[in-house]
Amino acid sequence: MFKKILIANRGEIAVRIIRACRELGASTVAVYSDADRRSLHVALADEAYHIGGSAPGESYLKKENIIDVARKSGAEAIHPGFGFLSENAEFAEMCEKAGIVFIGPSPEAIRLMGDKITARKIAYDAKVPLVPGSEGAVSDVEASVVAGEIGYPLMIKASAGGGGKGMRLVRTKEDFESALRMARSEARSAFGDDSVYVERFVEQPRHIEIQLIADSHGNVLHLFERECSIQRRHQKVIEEAPSGFISAKTRKKMGDVAIRIAKAVKYKGAGTIEFIMDQKQNFYFLEMNTRVQVEHPVTEMITGFDIVKWMIRIAAGEKLPFKQGDIEMNGHAVECRVYAEDPATNFMPSPGTIEYLSTPSGPGIRDDSAIYNGCEITSFYDPMLSKLIVWADTREAAIDRMAAALKDYIVLGVKTNIGFLRRVMADEEFRQCKIDTGYIERHPELINPGERDIKPALIAAAIAMENSTVSGPQSQAAAASNWKLFARRVGVTRSPLA
């Protein structure tokens, strides 16, 4: 096992990895940008080093700076988390060359699965079902030929894409040309590469993915599926495990297929095969994420398997001590991503200072978070504040538990999606598992619920005004002793309680 591990990330995932390292007895090295000096991962790590400016390009994406810190601090391994350099083959290679273990798959596997067209070809060769479409990037002429073959509706997607950029849904032949032009221009500005491919659009698709874990001794296991169909702006918001939709037969088929892909690229570490599924449980390969996934906790909750710890153990050469048949799933887990954003203005990010925070706890509740009272949510990074995860014995009970837990989640200072999440938990369609990736768009009432009783808010505001004008803390402050006031002025206090 490693004695010292560098975490090349920030936010809740850095905190999650630090906790896993602690339990494994490894000391931890954090890296941070200008904006992150006060961030929780810096406080929790054993060592912390500044690596540059606040913009990710000046710090968390600076490969050389991070490797330098690893060398200087004597870290033997680097855990990249998700985002940033986690799927950067060049970085994995640089680690190798520097004699530092990259906690993840080989640079080759990252490269192969990172290019969507190559990944599709690997899946095709491994007899994995694919959405009908063009074999790779296409010219404008080829694109319209393929479009004619597969029919409408269809999707145009950027080869280098992700996060919904360079993606266009086309419903009719008439819209095809202009959609193709827009997809190319978006892809060019977002990724510097305007190659696109065309595929059939699956109506009312569900997003279902298989968690894989593979060691360096050729063992590949799947840890069942997660359903992540509740998305906004093509990003997941609510995830659950297992899916409340698929049959045991489909589950087994998906697991087998996912393992075939992993074996084809000699995969090692934790990875996820994402599928799109239609309403008849036909599933098609979407892509592979060659890293730990944001929503990994729901899998941990139903399997009891610590994915982050095992990523580290596998990187250190350990062998998985169990077989597929040893892994069972138990109960149901739901995760809600709590974002600093305003659902009412199309989920626009809401940066600011956390002025007050109160989080839920209790049986079966887990809050993977990196925020605290007084912490700053800057506009440099993803606005996710925390992931609230619950476990219970059935899907219904898990949703009830999540609804109850969300009632205890209070955040002041920035807008959040907590109210929206609460309304989803109460929504009949969600509770009956009638979900697909168009769910949020179909339910504007979850974003703007219309008439609400705001009397309590007005009462609270009046009380706050009254307290600040007549009596309250100010008048008490005036009664404080002159010595205390003197001490406050010069900034010397004996203890925090003084």
Partner 1 sequence: MTYTFKLNDQIFKVTFEENDGQIELEIEGEKLPVDYRKIEDNLYSIILDGQSITLGVFKKGKKIQVFLDGDLYDLESISEREQRKSSLAASGVQEIKAPMPSRVVKVLKSEGDEVTKDEGVIVIEAMKMESELKSPLAGKVRNVMAKEGDAIEAGTVLMVVASDTAPTE
What is the residue type of 330? N
Q: Is 426 in the site for partner 1 (CB under 8 A)?
A: no
Q: Quote the least distance from Cβ 236 to partner 1, whole Å.
A: 14
Q: How far is the CB of 1 from partner 1 (least distance, A)?
A: 35
Note whether 422 binds partner 1 by CB under 8 A. Answer: yes
How many residues sit close enough to partner 1 to count as binding (CB under 8 A)? 51
Q: Which stretch binds partner 1 (CB under 8 A): 125-133, 248-256, 265-273, 421-429?
A: 421-429
Report residue 308 as tokens.
Answer: 């982050």
232-251 residues in contact with partner 1 (CB under 8 A) are 233
Binding region for partner 1 (CB under 8 A) out of 12-20, 72-80, 391-399, 409-417? 409-417
- Residue 419 contacts partner 1 per CB under 8 A: yes
Is residue 473 a contact point for partner 1 (CB under 8 A)?
A: yes
Eight-class DSSP state of 378: -
Burial class (CB in 10 A: 0-12, 13-18, 19+), 121: middle
Taking the least distance from each CB to partner 1, the nearer of 113 and 338 is: 338
Max CA-CA distance within the chain? 85
Alpha-carbon torsion, ordered 175, 178, 183, 186, to 10 deg: -140
**Does 497 engage in binding with partner 1 (CB under 8 A)?**
no
| 252 binds partner 1 per the rule CB under 8 A | no
Active site residues: 291
User: If you write DSSP's letter for every residue of 58-89 in order, what string do you get?
Assistant: GTTT-HHHHHHHHHHHT-SEEE--SSTTTT-H
Residue 349 as a binder of partner 1 (CB under 8 A): the answer is yes
How far apart, in whole angstroms, are the C-alpha atoms of residue 394 and residue 402?
12
Please state, in angstroms and rounded to a whole number, the distance separating the CA atoms of residues 366 and 303. 15
Count other Cβ atoms within 10 Å, centred on residue 347: 20
Q: Does 480 bind partner 1 (CB under 8 A)?
A: no
Near partner 1 by CB under 8 A: residue from 468, 480, 488, 493:
468
Query: Does residue number 166 form part of the binding site for partner 1 (CB under 8 A)?
Result: no
If the CB atoms of residues 181 and 252 are measured against partner 1, the closer one turns out to be 181
Among residues 301 and 406, whose Cβ is nearest to partner 1?
Answer: 406
Using alpha carbons, list the distances in angstroms from residue 39 to 12, 14, 237, 369. Answer: 10, 10, 23, 11
Burial 3-30 (b: 16+ CB within 10 A, else e): ebbbbbbbbbbbbbbbebbeebebbbbb
**412 lies in the site for partner 1, by CB under 8 A:** yes
Closest C-alpha among 84, 10, 73 to residue 46: 73
Minimum Å gap between C-beta 233 and partner 1 is 7
Residues found near partner 1 in the complex (CB under 8 A): 163, 233, 345-351, 355-356, 358, 379-383, 406-407, 409-416, 418-423, 452, 454-469, 473
